[in-house]
Amino acid sequence: MKSHTLSVLVENRAGVLSRVAGMFSRRGFNIESLAVGPCEEPNMSRITIVVNGDDGVVEQVTKQTNKLIDVIKVSDLTERESVERELALIKVAAESGTSRAEILQIAEIFRAQVVDVGSKTLVLQVAGDTGKIDALEKLLRQYGIKELVRTGKIALLRGAKTVKSSK
Protein backbone atom coordinates (compact mmCIF):
# COMPACT_ATOMS: atom_id res chain seq x y z
CA MET A 1 0.00 0.00 0.00
CA LYS A 2 1.35 3.36 -0.94
CA SER A 3 0.15 6.75 -1.98
CA HIS A 4 -0.25 7.48 -5.65
CA THR A 5 -0.67 10.93 -7.11
CA LEU A 6 -2.98 11.03 -10.09
CA SER A 7 -3.28 13.99 -12.39
CA VAL A 8 -6.71 13.97 -13.99
CA LEU A 9 -7.56 16.28 -16.85
CA VAL A 10 -11.31 16.80 -17.14
CA GLU A 11 -13.85 18.78 -19.11
CA ASN A 12 -14.71 21.94 -17.21
CA ARG A 13 -18.42 21.15 -16.79
CA ALA A 14 -20.89 21.22 -13.96
CA GLY A 15 -20.90 18.00 -12.00
CA VAL A 16 -17.55 16.63 -13.15
CA LEU A 17 -15.99 16.72 -9.71
CA SER A 18 -19.01 14.90 -8.35
CA ARG A 19 -18.68 12.22 -11.03
CA VAL A 20 -15.02 11.66 -10.24
CA ALA A 21 -15.32 11.79 -6.46
CA GLY A 22 -18.51 9.71 -6.51
CA MET A 23 -16.83 7.01 -8.57
CA PHE A 24 -14.02 6.84 -6.00
CA SER A 25 -16.31 6.53 -3.03
CA ARG A 26 -18.74 4.00 -4.46
CA ARG A 27 -15.94 1.74 -5.63
CA GLY A 28 -14.29 1.91 -2.24
CA PHE A 29 -11.18 3.80 -3.33
CA ASN A 30 -9.85 5.90 -0.53
CA ILE A 31 -9.09 9.49 -1.43
CA GLU A 32 -6.31 10.99 0.68
CA SER A 33 -6.50 14.36 -0.90
CA LEU A 34 -8.13 16.02 -3.83
CA ALA A 35 -7.46 19.40 -5.36
CA VAL A 36 -9.21 20.90 -8.32
CA GLY A 37 -8.97 24.08 -10.28
CA PRO A 38 -8.73 25.55 -13.74
CA CYS A 39 -5.73 24.71 -15.89
CA GLU A 40 -3.95 26.10 -18.96
CA GLU A 41 -6.95 25.62 -21.23
CA PRO A 42 -10.14 27.45 -20.45
CA ASN A 43 -12.55 24.56 -20.98
CA MET A 44 -10.60 22.01 -18.98
CA SER A 45 -9.80 21.54 -15.33
CA ARG A 46 -7.13 19.55 -13.61
CA ILE A 47 -7.87 17.40 -10.60
CA THR A 48 -4.99 16.10 -8.54
CA ILE A 49 -5.97 13.08 -6.50
CA VAL A 50 -3.86 11.26 -3.96
CA VAL A 51 -5.09 7.74 -3.47
CA ASN A 52 -3.80 4.94 -1.31
CA GLY A 53 -3.58 1.38 -2.53
CA ASP A 54 -1.50 -1.37 -4.05
CA ASP A 55 -0.69 -1.41 -7.75
CA GLY A 56 -3.81 -3.39 -8.63
CA VAL A 57 -6.06 -0.90 -6.87
CA VAL A 58 -4.37 2.05 -8.50
CA GLU A 59 -4.67 0.41 -11.91
CA GLN A 60 -8.41 -0.02 -11.34
CA VAL A 61 -8.72 3.56 -10.08
CA THR A 62 -6.99 4.83 -13.18
CA LYS A 63 -9.06 2.74 -15.57
CA GLN A 64 -12.38 3.49 -13.90
CA THR A 65 -11.57 7.21 -13.83
CA ASN A 66 -10.62 7.10 -17.49
CA LYS A 67 -13.99 5.51 -18.29
CA LEU A 68 -15.88 8.62 -17.26
CA ILE A 69 -16.93 10.47 -20.37
CA ASP A 70 -15.83 13.87 -19.03
CA VAL A 71 -12.37 12.63 -18.10
CA ILE A 72 -9.89 13.44 -20.82
CA LYS A 73 -6.68 11.97 -19.43
CA VAL A 74 -5.43 10.30 -16.28
CA SER A 75 -1.74 10.08 -15.42
CA ASP A 76 -0.07 8.48 -12.44
CA LEU A 77 2.73 10.84 -11.46
CA THR A 78 4.01 8.66 -8.65
CA GLU A 79 6.83 6.91 -10.44
CA ARG A 80 7.70 9.92 -12.55
CA GLU A 81 9.71 13.02 -11.82
CA SER A 82 7.24 15.57 -10.61
CA VAL A 83 6.92 18.59 -8.38
CA GLU A 84 4.30 18.30 -5.71
CA ARG A 85 3.01 21.09 -3.51
CA GLU A 86 0.38 21.65 -0.94
CA LEU A 87 -0.64 24.91 0.67
CA ALA A 88 -1.74 25.29 4.27
CA LEU A 89 -3.04 28.16 6.35
CA ILE A 90 -2.49 27.66 10.05
CA LYS A 91 -4.00 29.86 12.73
CA VAL A 92 -1.89 29.39 15.80
CA ALA A 93 -2.32 30.79 19.32
CA ALA A 94 0.32 33.40 20.07
CA GLU A 95 -0.71 34.91 23.34
CA SER A 96 2.61 35.63 25.01
CA GLY A 97 5.61 37.37 23.55
CA THR A 98 7.74 34.28 24.00
CA SER A 99 5.56 31.97 22.01
CA ARG A 100 5.07 34.61 19.34
CA ALA A 101 8.84 34.94 18.92
CA GLU A 102 9.26 31.19 18.79
CA ILE A 103 6.51 30.77 16.22
CA LEU A 104 8.04 33.45 14.01
CA GLN A 105 11.36 31.68 14.25
CA ILE A 106 9.83 28.36 13.27
CA ALA A 107 7.99 30.07 10.42
CA GLU A 108 11.23 31.44 9.10
CA ILE A 109 12.89 28.03 9.16
CA PHE A 110 9.96 26.55 7.24
CA ARG A 111 9.75 29.54 4.91
CA ALA A 112 6.20 30.05 6.03
CA GLN A 113 4.74 33.53 5.75
CA VAL A 114 2.76 35.39 8.33
CA VAL A 115 -0.38 36.48 6.53
CA ASP A 116 -2.39 37.72 9.48
CA VAL A 117 -1.44 39.05 12.87
CA GLY A 118 -4.00 39.28 15.64
CA SER A 119 -3.61 40.19 19.27
CA LYS A 120 -3.81 36.53 20.27
CA THR A 121 -3.16 34.67 17.04
CA LEU A 122 -0.95 34.45 13.99
CA VAL A 123 -1.94 32.97 10.66
CA LEU A 124 0.89 31.27 8.80
CA GLN A 125 0.86 30.33 5.18
CA VAL A 126 3.12 27.51 4.12
CA ALA A 127 3.64 25.72 0.85
CA GLY A 128 5.57 22.53 0.30
CA ASP A 129 5.31 18.80 0.14
CA THR A 130 3.02 16.97 2.49
CA GLY A 131 5.84 15.97 4.83
CA LYS A 132 6.98 19.54 5.35
CA ILE A 133 3.52 20.75 6.22
CA ASP A 134 3.01 17.80 8.56
CA ALA A 135 6.25 18.69 10.32
CA LEU A 136 5.32 22.34 10.74
CA GLU A 137 1.89 21.39 12.00
CA LYS A 138 3.42 19.09 14.56
CA LEU A 139 5.77 21.81 15.81
CA LEU A 140 3.03 24.40 16.09
CA ARG A 141 0.69 22.09 17.99
CA GLN A 142 2.39 22.86 21.28
CA TYR A 143 1.31 26.51 20.95
CA GLY A 144 -2.27 25.57 20.15
CA ILE A 145 -3.59 25.42 16.62
CA LYS A 146 -6.89 27.25 16.48
CA GLU A 147 -7.73 26.42 12.90
CA LEU A 148 -6.00 24.78 10.00
CA VAL A 149 -6.80 24.33 6.35
CA ARG A 150 -4.88 22.45 3.67
CA THR A 151 -5.50 22.55 -0.05
CA GLY A 152 -4.67 18.97 -0.92
CA LYS A 153 -1.76 18.16 -3.12
CA ILE A 154 -1.21 19.56 -6.58
CA ALA A 155 1.45 18.22 -8.89
CA LEU A 156 3.10 18.72 -12.28
CA LEU A 157 5.65 16.68 -14.20
CA ARG A 158 9.15 18.09 -14.19
CA GLY A 159 10.82 19.32 -17.37
CA ALA A 160 9.18 19.62 -20.74
CA LYS A 161 6.83 16.65 -20.32
CA THR A 162 3.16 17.42 -19.85
CA VAL A 163 -0.03 15.62 -19.02
CA LYS A 164 -2.09 16.73 -21.97
CA SER A 165 -5.01 15.43 -23.88
CA SER A 166 -3.53 13.10 -26.47
CA LYS A 167 -6.79 13.08 -28.33
Partner 1 sequence: MKTGARTLIEALQREGVDTIFGYPGGVVLPIYDELYDSSIRHILVRHEQAAAHAADGYARASGRVGVCLATSGPGACNLVTGIATAYMDSIPVVALTGQVPTALLGNDAFQESDITGITMPVTKHNYLVKDANDLDQVIREAFYVARTGRPGPVLVDLPKDVSTSVVKGNRPLPETVSLRGYQPTYEGHVRQIDKAIDLLVGAERPLVYAGGGVVLSEASPELLEFIETAAVPVTTTLMGLGAVPGDHPLNLGMLGMHGTQSANYAVTECDLLIAVGVRFDDRVTGKIETFAPNAAVVHIDIDPAEIGKNKKVDVPIVGDVKAVLRAILRRMKKRGDTANWVARINTWKAQFPLRFRDDERLHPQYVVRQLSDVLQGEGIITSEVGQNQMWTALYYRFTKPRTWITSGGLGTMGYGFPAAIGAHFARPDLPVVDVAGDGSFQMNIQELGTVAHYKIPVKVVILNNMYLGMVRQWQELFYDRRYSYTELPPVDFVKIANAYGVEGIRVEEKGGVREAIETALATDGPFVLDFRVEREENVFPMVPAGAAINEMIGVREE
Taking contact as CB under 8 A, which single stretch among the options 32-40, 52-60, 98-106, 109-117 is the one that binds partner 1?
52-60
Neighbouring residues of 56: CB distance < 8 A, sequence distance ≥ 6: none
56 or 131, CB closer to partner 1? 56
Give the HSE-up count for residue 21: Cα atoms under 13 Å, Cβ half-sphere: 11
Q: Which of residues 119-148 bind partner 1 (CB under 8 A)?
A: none
User: What are φ and ψ of residue 141, in 5° steps?
Assistant: -55, -35
Q: Residues 100 to 119: which contact partner 1 by CB under 8 A?
A: none
Closer CB to partner 1, 69 or 149, in the complex:
69
Backbone CA torsion sign across 54, 27, 131, 78: positive
- Single-letter amino acid, residue 71: V
User: Which residue of 1, 26, 28, 109 would you call a contact of partner 1, by CB under 8 A?
Assistant: 26
Residue 10, burial from CB neighbour count under 10 angstroms (0-12, 13-18, 19+)? buried
Tell me the CA end-to-end span of the chain in Å, nearest whole number: 32
DSSP 30: -
Q: Which of 2, 67, 111, 120 binds partner 1 (CB under 8 A)?
A: 67
Q: Is 60 in the site for partner 1 (CB under 8 A)?
A: yes
Asked if 76 touches partner 1 (CB under 8 A), the answer is: no
Out of 18, 79, 98, 160, name the contact with partner 1 by CB under 8 A: 18
Q: Contact 10/69 with Cβ under 8 angstroms?
A: no
167 is a contact residue toward partner 1 (CB under 8 A): yes
Give least dist CB 119 to partner 1, A: 41
User: Does the protein bind partner 1 through residue 41 (CB under 8 A)?
Assistant: no
Contact window for partner 1 (CB under 8 A) among 59-67, 75-83, 90-98, 124-132: 59-67
Nearer to partner 1 by Cβ, of 132 and 164: the residue is: 164
Q: For residue 36, which amino acid is it?
A: V
